[in-house]
């Protein structure tokens, strides 16, 4: 860890992982821009891009499988999803190297 608290050594890992999860999201109808620094974690926002974008659960499952991670349980009731402003849903995906993906998903308009 660097003196400022960032995990600089994970940046190449996140940079290598991103194209795979971006492609997986694209195949389900989502754009997946990065909105963080790639230091502590990989912050991405899934934005439904086509009318037939897959449901939230399918997107999360696919990104978990593609990344080789597991979804972190958020609270004592075993909820793994956090509801955020504007209908956004957030999930943390823990990775084998100690890093993680913070995935936010904007809602589909049905």
Would you list the domain boundaries of the chain?
A: 8-105
Tokens encoding 24: 């997986």
**DSSP code for 74:** -
- The pTM assigned to this predicted structure is 0.84
97/100 Cα distance (integer angstroms): 8
Instruction: Let me know if domain 8-105 sits in CATH 1.10.3470.
Output: no
Which conformational region is residue 71 in: left (phi greater than 0), alpha (psi within -120 to 50 degrees), or beta? beta
Residues 3-62: pLDDT tens digits?
A: 555 556 788 899 999 999 999 999 999 999 999 888 789 999 999 999 999 999 999 999
């Amino acid at each position: 860890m660097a003196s400022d608290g960032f995990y600089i050594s994970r940046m190449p890992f996140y940079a290598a992982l991103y194209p795979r999860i971006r492609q997986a999201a694209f195949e389900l109808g989502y754009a997946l821009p990065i909105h963080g620094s790639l230091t502590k974690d990989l912050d991405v926002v899934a934005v439904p891009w086509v009318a037939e974008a897959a449901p939230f659960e399918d997107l999360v499952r696919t990104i978990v499988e593609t990344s080789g991670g597991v979804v972190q349980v958020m609270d004592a009731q075993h909820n793994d999803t956090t509801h955020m402003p504007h209908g956004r849903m957030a999930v943390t995906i823990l990775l084998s190297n100690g890093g993680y993906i913070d995935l936010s998903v904007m809602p589909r308009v049905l």
